[in-house]
A and B are shown apart, each in its own frame.
Chain A
Amino acid sequence: MSLAERHIPDRLTNPLQRALKSWEALLLVVAVTVFIINSLSSPYFLDAWNLSDATFNFTEKAMIAFAMALLIISGEIDLSVASIIALASTAMGAAVQFGAGTTEIVLIGLLVGLICGAFNGGLVTVLGLPSIVVTIGTMSLFRGISYIVLGDQAYGGYPRSFAFFGQGYVWWVISFEIVLFFVLAAAFWVLLHKTNFGRSVYAIGNNPTAALFSGIRVQRVKFILFMLTGLMAGVAAVCLTSRLGSTRPSIAVGWELEVVTMVVLGGINILGGSGSIPGVVIAAFVMGMVTFGFGLLNVPGIVMSIFIGLLLIGVIALPRLWSMFIARRG
């Protein structure tokens, strides 16, 4: 055997080159373009308070999107997140009726989110059911429980201090929510990209069997991811409830699809296995800016959604069309 050392380099392309060609770079270009178009088309766009108000369009959804990104990378999905918000919010409202203070309310919101996540996770990992189906079921179930509890009523009367989470400002125009958004973005970035846990999420998403054969506790990791997603839905429920100051069972209807759209736009492979947190962060800004920009032009929401749909397909389709075009010419 010729042991003339065959040297294998660590990398062929350097990381910077790779970053420039990445999905995140493309998204960043989209984000900057949207920002420029917005500031040119409306005189109201470049205003600190207005921009601050605009962040509420996406912060809560993005918090869930971070956890959902991990879940989707691992090859699962949770369509019940919006319903978890409804149930968590209902539980918080009920707690208020029993005289709970702000701390208790928040804890109850988070706990209910965690329990709902564990319920989904249990059905998926213990009974081995496909998550897309399980969470279509729990999507009806969780919101259904809110309807049973509340019916046509609403819970209100949240304590004044509770309003801080959704309406408070940390400094000048910097709201509590946007700070929380960045803190969570950083935390999820570390979790996914810098820890063993994150690595096992990728391994599971690419090949669950081989991951299991490599000693990764696949079911446990998935269970934790479902709980994490539930917990983040709980966090979003706290913020949203605080921002609305009241709870109705119809709270956050349709958010699950917006969250998934955000995740996919962020470059997370819906089939699992790849994607990054910075992508999701940029996608959140793009979606927030687009809706706010259209809002300033008084475009009806439904027309706005055409654009979001086109963006979702276009951002994936254009690079592929481009490379097909190049291939045909070359």
Chain B
Amino acid sequence: MEQSPDPVISLSSITKTFPGVKALSEVQLDLYPGQVTALVGENGAGKSTIVKILTGIYQPNGGAILVDGQEIQFPTAHHASDAGITAIHQETVLFDELSVAENIFIGHTPRGRFGLLDTAEMNRQAQSLLDGIGAQIDPTVRLRDLGIANKHLVAIARALSIDARVVIMDEPTAALSHKEIAELYELVEKLKAQGKAILFISHKFDEIFRIADRYTVFRDGQFVADGLISEVGEADLVQMMVGRSVEQIFPERKPTVGNEVLKIEDYAHPTEFEDIGFSLKRGEILGFYGLVGAGRSEFMQALFGITRPSSGTCRIDGEEKTIRSPADAIANGIVYVPEDRGKQGAVIGLPIFQNVTLPSLGKTSRNGFIRMAKEYGLAREYTSRLDLRAASLDQDVGTLSGGNQQKVVIAKWLATQPKVIILDEPTKGIDIGSKAAVHEFMSELAAQGLAVIMVSSEIPEVLGMSDRVIVMREGRMVAELEGEDLTPETLVRNAAGIEKA
């Protein structure tokens, strides 16, 4: 450590409290020029919170921020970017109604005559930024017309549009496909070469070991350790993160496959997907793999009754059913854990226990009248099975970290005791400890005879958990893989549409 240069930015004894939660308690963090520092920690460890403090979105309750040894404060996001700090945030914080170029430059648009905004100049600069990161996006299109991956690329371009010395990336790869992730790595190398200090937050260990030079570990809002990546192993890092060792990531399973619960034939939608058909048996875990934007979520949402397919049949336990709404799907034992937790999963504003019982109100009430004791009972049962971390059950879900919100959403569905559970990216943005819990839980569910559909973009997860995998590309089923055929190579080949060599 002695040979490293002075840090560009250094945080010391930073404390941040929210009503009822101490998100950060006297933590420290140093970022060095030309180096990538990985910030690791479980869900709710306070990673995103420190990012928001660094970018002027939150004000710390205590501690100091030193830039080049000078103490400084960031009352607004402008102050932080003026000090040369830029960030790609965990949530995509962009404007659907504005154009790509406007999104990239909002807040610091080039000015032309009379101090008015210079649109042409802005579009040109945006184009060159996008080209620079290998994104094929027209800067004049409206953001709402882009897919989720492209939106993320715009967010990256936006961060780079500020001439920064410190670049922060909070889970930048969560929504990106392989190709885009590779390009991101290249970009990181380029930034490093330019001498920028990079803070990289990720739950994916392969990534961290590939690109980071240093690490800092937080646990439950406290600083645990930091050092050089070259001096630690994966197991040590995990140990520091969770305060215990996590040995085996995917549970050993002996699938006991029962009779068929769900049979889908010829599901099609005018614009999103077509020709989808498969069958699913009790106790089975069926994986759905594909690149982001392959239409998996759209199909699952049609299956769950959010959108209506234009044709196709759905049989449950051999009986043909028409699912017109999520209420129908739930009544027929199909439930869906959505991908967009904040928008579609948790009802922020309602307490945890009410979130859990929302789809099971029929069970916790008598003749439509609520029984509180039953509600608390049900909520307690399922949240403790998922090892939820919260101060109390009547706390607003909005005050939980992302991973814990996900647990509440899963608990909500398990409480309905479904026949088929669809999990759309169930471990996206979840820390390694909770991830293992979710995986264990999934196999437990399957062992109890539940049929599980798991949509995932992570190959290890798909391979580790699924008994069978369906690959989708551009709205169609392109392969159904099982046993021997199930290899990383076949998955990627089918998902990307590459011909066999």
Which A residues are closer than 8 A to B by beta carbons? 1-3, 5-6, 8-12, 190, 194-200, 202-203, 205-207, 209-217, 273-274
Q: Is there contact, CB below 8 Å, between A196 and B365?
A: yes
Q: Is there contact, CB below 8 Å, between A215 and B359?
A: yes
Contact of A8 among B329, B365, B392 (CB under 8 A): B392
B418-435 contacts to A (CB < 8 Å): 433
Given A199-B361, A202-B350, A209-B343: A214 and B395 interface contact (C-beta under 8 Å)? no
The 4 residue pairs across chains A and B that have the minimum distance between CB atoms: A206-B349, A215-B330, A196-B361, A12-B392
The chain B residue sitting closest to A195, CB to CB, is B368
- Chain B residues lying within 8 Å of A6, measured Cβ to Cβ, are 384, 387, 389
The chain A residue sitting closest to B398, CB to CB, is A206
- Chain A residues lying within 8 Å of B72, measured Cβ to Cβ, are none
Q: Is there contact, CB below 8 Å, between A8 and B390?
A: yes
List 29 interface pairs A-B (beta carbons < 8 Å), by A numbering: A1-B244, A1-B387, A3-B387, A5-B384, A8-B380, A8-B383, A8-B384, A8-B388, A8-B393, A12-B391, A12-B392, A194-B369, A196-B369, A199-B370, A200-B358, A200-B361, A202-B349, A202-B354, A205-B349, A207-B346, A207-B349, A210-B343, A212-B326, A213-B326, A213-B344, A214-B412, A215-B329, A216-B358, A217-B325
Which B residues are closer than 8 A to A by beta carbons? 20, 244, 246, 304, 306, 325-327, 329-330, 336, 338, 343-350, 353-354, 358-359, 361-362, 365, 368-370, 376, 380, 383-384, 387-395, 412, 433, 436-437
Bound CA span A211–B188, Å = 40
* Least distance between A323 CB and chain B CB atoms (Å): 11
* Least distance between B414 CB and chain A CB atoms (Å): 13
Bound CA span A10–B374, Å = 12
The chain B residue sitting closest to A11, CB to CB, is B394
- Chain B residues lying within 8 Å of A3, measured Cβ to Cβ, are 387
* Least distance between A261 CB and chain B CB atoms (Å): 24
Bound CA span A136–B136, Å = 45
The chain A residue sitting closest to B364, CB to CB, is A196
Given A8-B380, A12-B394: A213 and B387 interface contact (C-beta under 8 Å)? no
Bound CA span A212–B329, Å = 12
- Chain B residues lying within 8 Å of A214, measured Cβ to Cβ, are 326, 347, 358-359, 412
Given A214-B412, A215-B359: A274 and B349 interface contact (C-beta under 8 Å)? yes
Bound CA span A104–B343, Å = 48
The chain B residue sitting closest to A3, CB to CB, is B387
Bound CA span A1–B384, Å = 13
Q: Is there contact, CB below 8 Å, between A194 and B370?
A: yes
Q: Is there contact, CB below 8 Å, between A12 and B326?
A: no
- Chain A residues lying within 8 Å of B354, measured Cβ to Cβ, are 199, 202-203
- Chain B residues lying within 8 Å of A195, measured Cβ to Cβ, are 365, 368-370
Q: Is there contact, CB below 8 Å, between A1 and B433?
A: yes
Q: Is there contact, CB below 8 Å, between B362 and A196?
A: yes
- Chain B residues lying within 8 Å of A212, measured Cβ to Cβ, are 306, 326
- Chain B residues lying within 8 Å of A213, measured Cβ to Cβ, are 304, 306, 326, 336, 338, 344-345
**Which of A8, A12, A196, A203 is the most central at the interface, judged by chain B CB atoms within 10 Å of its CB?**
A8
**Which of B327, B347, B383, B388 is the most central at the interface, judged by chain A CB atoms within 10 Å of its CB?**
B347
- Chain B residues lying within 8 Å of A200, measured Cβ to Cβ, are 358, 361
Contact of A203 among B330, B353, B358 (CB under 8 A): B358
16 additional contacts (CB under 8 A) given A12-B395, A196-B369: A3-B387, A5-B384, A6-B387, A10-B393, A10-B394, A11-B392, A12-B394, A197-B368, A200-B361, A205-B349, A207-B348, A212-B306, A213-B344, A215-B325, A215-B329, A274-B349
Q: Is there contact, CB below 8 Å, between A215 and B369?
A: no
Q: Is there contact, CB below 8 Å, between B350 and A203?
A: yes
Bound CA span A215–B353, Å = 17
Contact of B391 among A8, A197, A207 (CB under 8 A): A8
Bound CA span A107–B370, Å = 32
Q: Is there contact, CB below 8 Å, between A210 and B387?
A: no
* Least distance between B356 CB and chain A CB atoms (Å): 10
- Chain A residues lying within 8 Å of B347, measured Cβ to Cβ, are 203, 206-207, 210-211, 214
- Chain A residues lying within 8 Å of B436, measured Cβ to Cβ, are 1
